[in-house]
Amino acid sequence: MDSASRSQIEAWLRYFDDLGLSPFYLDRAAAELPALAPSPQAPRTARHAAAAPLIPPPRAQEAVLPVVPSLFDAAPRVEGDSLARIREDIGDCKRCRLCEARNTIVFGDGSERAQLVFVGEGPGHDEDVQGLPFVGRAGKLLTQMIEAMGLRREDVYICNIVKCRPPGNRQPERDEVATCSPFLDRQLAAIHPRVIVCLGNVAAQTLLGTNKSISQFRGQWFDFRGSKLLATYHPAFLLRTPSAKSEVWTDLKKVMHELGMKPPKPRPRSA
């Protein structure tokens, strides 16, 4: 099969996966979301009190949240970690085959004090060229979504499951995710946001340790190491399926409510 046909088929498979129509190529029976159990919220660090001014201080958290194990549960904690140190540790990484075709390592972008982190799948062409996450068409849509919430892009943190572009924009392979995800784990631990939003199947399945399609748990809250985690559709999916924008906006309003933010007032229509 030539690479163009392969890319086309992969794009369609991802499209159907986003729709939840993917059992024909994934063994869904192998992984079920585990039973829910109560989890205490982890104490928050003092620096969060001085974080992004557009987000008010934490409200009382729900007493009981679902807890799910994932790839990340086995990762060791690094005391006194910082984004600069993590980037330094990545170096000119050649730990997985994704290094072979990349131009740039796309580490992440935004505030180390962010209370809201968006996690996507991996860099695309524009991101690979610019070295920044979510700067292509899907990235512009994500920026619009962030601004619709009343935030600026620099108020949040944006990163991906893998830091190097998978060739032909294919999904990262399981071993590539396993190799790269400790860096994401350290990023999330260093920032320790109040809310993590997973964008799309790969991010959600990786952090939640499930093969279930995102359509089965989109918009639900999970506990992730003391942060609240919600999965919603990837902006690239919204470019293909604009009708799903209302579901994503519903999810983002839940995030705003969790962060104690008021929904922005609708703009008056011009005459």
Cβ proximity to ligand SF4: between 18 and 128 the closer is 128
Taking CB under 6 A as the binding criterion, the range among 17-25, 90-98, 130-138, 204-212 that sits at the site for ligand SF4 is 90-98
- Does residue 236 interact with ligand SF4 by CB under 6 A? no
User: Cα 178 vs. chain centroid, distance in angstroms?
Assistant: 16
Cβ proximity to ligand SF4: between 71 and 105 the closer is 105
- How near is the Cβ of 53 to ligand SF4 at its closest, in Å? 33
Taking CB under 6 A as the binding criterion, the range among 55-63, 94-102, 151-159, 211-219 that sits at the site for ligand SF4 is 94-102
Long-range CB contacts (within 8 A, 24+) of 102-107? 102/128, 102/164, 102/165, 103/128, 103/129, 103/165, 104/128, 104/129, 104/130, 104/131, 105/131, 105/163, 105/164, 106/131, 106/132, 106/133, 106/160, 106/163, 106/164, 106/165, 107/83, 107/131, 107/159, 107/163
Q: Which of 240, 235, 211, 165 is nearest to 11 (CA)?
A: 240
Owner of token pair 């987000």: 55
Cβ proximity to ligand SF4: between 37 and 101 the closer is 101
- Does residue 159 interact with ligand SF4 by CB under 6 A? no
Cβ proximity to ligand SF4: between 121 and 223 the closer is 121
Residue 144, amino acid: Q
- Does residue 98 interact with ligand SF4 by CB under 6 A? yes
Burial of 267 (0-12, 13-18, 19+ CB in 10 A): exposed
Alpha carbons within 13 A on the beta-carbon side of 46: 0
- Does residue 252 interact with ligand SF4 by CB under 6 A? no
Cβ proximity to ligand SF4: between 93 and 239 the closer is 93
Binding track over 164-193 against ligand SF4, x by CB under 6 A: x-----------x--xx-------------
Tell me the DSSP string of 133-172.
SS-SHHHHHHHHHHHHTT--GGGSEEEESSSSPPGGGPPP
- Does residue 105 interact with ligand SF4 by CB under 6 A? yes
- Does residue 218 interact with ligand SF4 by CB under 6 A? no
Q: How many residues bind ligand SF4 (CB under 6 A)?
A: 14
Q: Which of 96, 135, 141, 184 forms a contact with ligand SF4 (CB under 6 A)?
A: 96
Pairing of strands 195-199, 157-160: unpaired
Taking CB under 6 A as the binding criterion, the range among 96-104, 138-146, 230-238, 258-266 that sits at the site for ligand SF4 is 96-104
- Which parts of this chain interact with ligand SF4 (CB under 6 A)? 90, 93-96, 98-99, 105, 162-164, 176, 179-180
